[in-house]
């Protein structure tokens, strides 16, 4: 007969274990839903179960899916037992956890409000100004909107980061980036990458070679403060030149991977919605008029947050390093994984009730808790039919499945004008803490 102690342990486990959602065929139903329905799978389960947290069983893994912002905030506090660093170590196997955990704090001043962020912003503005000038001189251009945004975002971001000797100005290196990005998930998961993502693997090696030359010649000393701080930090850990270049490929991915789809949906939403378009037009007009005194009525932080909320599909992922009790109710067992789909939180009407006071962490477009994108401050930069979305696992926002051809032309008698106000950089980021 079981002892009273054994029975009490079983009772505690039953009380604290998040409810398991198995589907018709345990494990197989979960695998099918995750790979076929992608991020929609978690929205469906959230609507069906109405549970703040539940467990999905995979072979050898308990996956804890958290739908409650309250519980997500509690998990954010357990920075050592429910941790992201092991995943970073897997992405860059030669780096140690302590290095990865402290890198964002070391390099972040280069992309935080102040001289570092302002310098990045000025280069981005200059890059887009040159692009608009070329468009005007050609009398306008016809492009696929996503392809155009994708390329221009890469160009502007890498120019800002790497400076006048930006290795991504080389058309071959630029091409290899897009090959690498298309196979990034397969490479990360290690699913026969040399076969299934051969072009991506080859692209990575081309970028590593280009970055090695960049660092070897000391070109980064003419780059951004962010790059200089990052390289100084990596050198302090004894990374070889090859190690530094491989780590940097990961940094490029972190800086660019979600920026292009985010910029695309922001542009698309502003152009496609007449109300949003008119609001933006009026506020930009006001911004131009007030350029002399450096003031603006435009609230870019709220606009950015709404684009991310409406289109965002990012999923925060943590590994459970030790048994962890969340909110004195739910036990996450060692060896499991915590998964926090933003789309479910963003669909919660209570999180958008204007009469309620909400914490800053209700917006998680750039991560949450101690896992925040160090470049989050830098990233804010007729009837239309919404293109179908490809919910790519690992991206914070979907990419369009269909082409969206547009033509950019300047209005008669008007000139392109781009403005960068240092004050705005500080104001915008002040709400993202």
Residues 356 and 399 in one domain: no
Looking up tokens 């709404």 gives 306
Provide mean pLDDT across the span 105-132. Answer: 85
172-175 own/partner pairs: CB under 8 Å, 24+ apart: 172/206, 173/206, 173/207, 173/210, 175/203
Residue positions counted in the chain: 433
Q: Are 390 and 99 in contact (CB under 8 A)?
A: no
Q: What is the pLDDT of residue 172?
A: 95
Q: Which range (114-128, 229-243, 407-421) has the least confidence? A: 407-421
Interatomic CA distance for residues 298 and 66, integer angstroms: 34
Q: Is residue 99 assigned to a domain?
A: no
Q: Is residue 103 assigned to a domain?
A: no
Return the higher-pLDDT residue of 230 and 300.
230
Radius of gyration of the chain (CA): 23
For the entire predicted model, the pTM comes to 0.69
Residues 197 and 78 in one domain: no
- For 138, counting Cβ atoms within 10 Å of its Cβ (0-12 exposed, 13-18 middle, 19+ buried), the class is exposed
Provide mean pLDDT across the span 26-38. Answer: 80
Question: Could you report the per-residue pLDDT of 404-421, keeping only the tens digit for each?
Answer: 888 887 777 777 666 665
Task: CATH number of the domain at 270, please.
Answer: 1.10.630.10
Interatomic CA distance for residues 120 and 259, integer angstroms: 15
- For 112, counting Cβ atoms within 10 Å of its Cβ (0-12 exposed, 13-18 middle, 19+ buried), the class is buried
Residues 248 and 124 in one domain: yes
pLDDT > 50? residue 433: no
Task: CATH number of the domain at 340, please.
Answer: 3.30.43.20
How many helical (H) and strand (E) elements, i.e. helices and strands, does the chain have? 19, 13
Residues 182 and 61 in one domain: no
Q: Which range (87-96, 156-165, 327-336) has the least confidence? A: 87-96
Q: Which residues pair with 54 in a beta bridge?
A: 65
Interatomic CA distance for residues 101 and 240, integer angstroms: 19
Question: Which of 362, 384, 401 marks a domain boundary?
Answer: 362
Residues 148 and 279 in one domain: yes
Residues 257 and 282 in one domain: yes
Residues 369 and 358 in one domain: no
Interatomic CA distance for residues 326 and 136, integer angstroms: 57
Q: How many domains does the chain have?
A: 2
Interatomic CA distance for residues 368 and 365, integer angstroms: 8
Domain range for residue 332? 4-94+315-362
Q: How far, CA to CA in Å, does 284 sit from each of 297, 351, 408?
A: 9, 29, 18
Residues 142 and 45 in one domain: no
Query: How confident is residue 426, by pLDDT bands cut at 50, 70 and 90?
Result: very low
Provide mean pLDDT across the span 307-324. Answer: 79
Q: Is residue 266 assigned to a domain?
A: yes
Q: Which of 79, 67, 18 is nearest to 340 (CA)?
A: 67
198, two tokens? 């051969």
Q: Is residue 125 assigned to a domain?
A: yes
Q: What is the pLDDT of residue 427?
A: 38
157, two tokens? 């971001």
Q: Is residue 181 assigned to a domain?
A: yes
Q: What is the pLDDT of residue 218?
A: 95
Q: Are 331 and 98 in contact (CB under 8 A)?
A: no
Q: Are 156 and 381 in contact (CB under 8 A)?
A: yes
Q: Is residue 104 assigned to a domain?
A: no
| CA 23, 25, 28, 32 torsion-angle sign | negative
Q: Which of 339, 364, 351, 354 is nearest to 433 (CA)?
A: 364
Residues 80 and 34 in one domain: yes
Question: Could you report the per-residue pLDDT of 353-402, keeping only the tens digit for each?
Answer: 555 555 555 555 555 555 555 555 555 554 566 777 776 666 667 778 77
């Amino acid at each position: 007969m079981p002892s009273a102690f054994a029975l009490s342990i079983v009772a505690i486990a039953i009380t604290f274990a998040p409810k398991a959602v198995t589907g018709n065929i345990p494990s197989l139903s979960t695998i099918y839903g995750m790979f076929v329905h992608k991020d929609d799978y978690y929205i469906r389960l959230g609507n069906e179960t109405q549970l703040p947290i539940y467990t999905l069983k995979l072979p050898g893994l308990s996956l804890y899916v958290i739908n409650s912002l309250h519980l997500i905030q509690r998990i954010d506090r357990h920075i050592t037992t429910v941790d992201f660093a092991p995943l970073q170590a897997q992405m860059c196997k030669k780096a140690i956890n302590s290095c990865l955990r402290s890198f964002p704090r070391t390099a972040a001043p280069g992309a935080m409000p102040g001289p570092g962020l302002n310098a990045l912003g000025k280069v981005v503005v200059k890059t887009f100004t040159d692009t608009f000038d070329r468009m005007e001189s050609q009398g306008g251009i016809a492009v696929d909107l996503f392809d155009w945004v994708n390329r221009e975002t890469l160009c502007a971001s890498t120019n800002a980061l790497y400076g006048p000797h930006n290795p991504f100005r080389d058309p071959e290196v630029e091409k290899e980036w897009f090959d690498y990005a298309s196979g990034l998930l397969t490479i990360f998961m290690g699913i026969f990458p040399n076969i299934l993502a051969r072009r991506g693997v080859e692209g990575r090696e081309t970028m590593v070679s280009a970055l090695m030359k960049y660092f070897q010649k000391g070109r980064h000393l003419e780059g951004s403060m962010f790059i200089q701080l990052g390289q100084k930090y990596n050198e302090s850990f004894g990374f070889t030149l090859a190690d530094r270049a491989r780590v940097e490929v990961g940094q490029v991915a972190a800086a660019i991977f979600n920026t292009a789809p985010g910029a695309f949906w922001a542009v698309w939403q502003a152009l496609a919605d007449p109300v949003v378009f008119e609001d933006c037009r009026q506020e930009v007009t006001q911004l131009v008029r007030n350029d002399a005194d450096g003031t603006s009525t435009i609230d870019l932080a709220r606009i950015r947050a709404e684009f991310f909320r409406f289109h965002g599909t990012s999923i925060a992922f943590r590994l459970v390093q030790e048994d962890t009790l969340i909110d004195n109710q739910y036990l996450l067992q060692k060896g499991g994984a915590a998964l926090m789909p933003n789309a479910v939180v963003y669909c919660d009407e209570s999180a958008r009730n204007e009469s309620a006071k909400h914490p800053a962490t209700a917006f998680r477009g750039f991560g949450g808790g101690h896992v925040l994108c160090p470049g989050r401050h830098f990233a804010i930069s007729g009837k239309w039919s919404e293109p179908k979305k490809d919910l790519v696992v690992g991206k914070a926002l979907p990419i369009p499945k269909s082409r969206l051809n547009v033509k950019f032309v300047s209005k008669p008698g008007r000139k392109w004008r781009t403005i960068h106000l240092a004050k705005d950089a500080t104001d915008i980021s002040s709400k993202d803490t």
